[in-house]
A and B are shown apart, each in its own frame.
Chain A
Amino acid sequence: MSDTPAARPSRSGSDDEGFKRELVQLIPHLRAFARTLCGDPAAADDLAQDAMMKAWDARASFQMGTNMKAWTFMILRNQFYSEKRRSWRQSQLDQEAAERTLVAVDDPEAPVALDELRQGLAMLPPEQREALILVGAGGFAYEEAAEICACAVGTVKSRVSRARRALHGILESGSYDRDGASAGDAMRAILADAERLSTVR
Chain B
Amino acid sequence: MGDEDSTRGRPPRKRHADSMIENMSSPDPRKPSAALDEARLRQQAIGVRLRQMFDEVVNEDVPDEFLEILRRADGKTAENG
Contact surface of A with B, Cβ cutoff 8 Å = 13, 16, 20, 23-24, 27-29, 31-32, 35-36, 45, 48-49, 52-53, 56-57, 113-114, 117-118, 132-133, 136-139, 164, 167-168, 171-172, 187, 190-191, 193-195, 197-198
Contact = CB atoms under 8 A, between A and B. Distances in A.
Interface string B38-55: 010111111111111111
Interface of B: 39, 41-55, 57-60, 62-63, 65-67, 69-70, 73-74, 77-78
Nearest to B65: A49
Contacts of A118: 53
B57 A194 contact: no
B77 A28 contact: no
A133 B54 contact: yes
B50 A193 contact: no
Given A16-B74, A31-B57, A32-B54, A197 B48 contact: yes
Contacts of B54: 32, 36, 133, 137-138
Interface class of chain B by DSSP = helix
A48 B65 CA distance: 11
Given A117-B49, A190-B46, A53 B73 contact: yes
A133 B74 CA distance: 32
A43 to B, nearest CB: 14
A187 B42 contact: yes
9 contacts: A16-B77, A20-B70, A24-B70, A49-B69, A114-B52, A136-B50, A136-B51, A168-B43, A193-B52
Given A49-B65, A52-B70, A132 B42 contact: no
Q: Sort A-B residue pairs by CB-CB distance and give the 3 closest, nearest first.
A: A137-B54, A194-B45, A32-B57
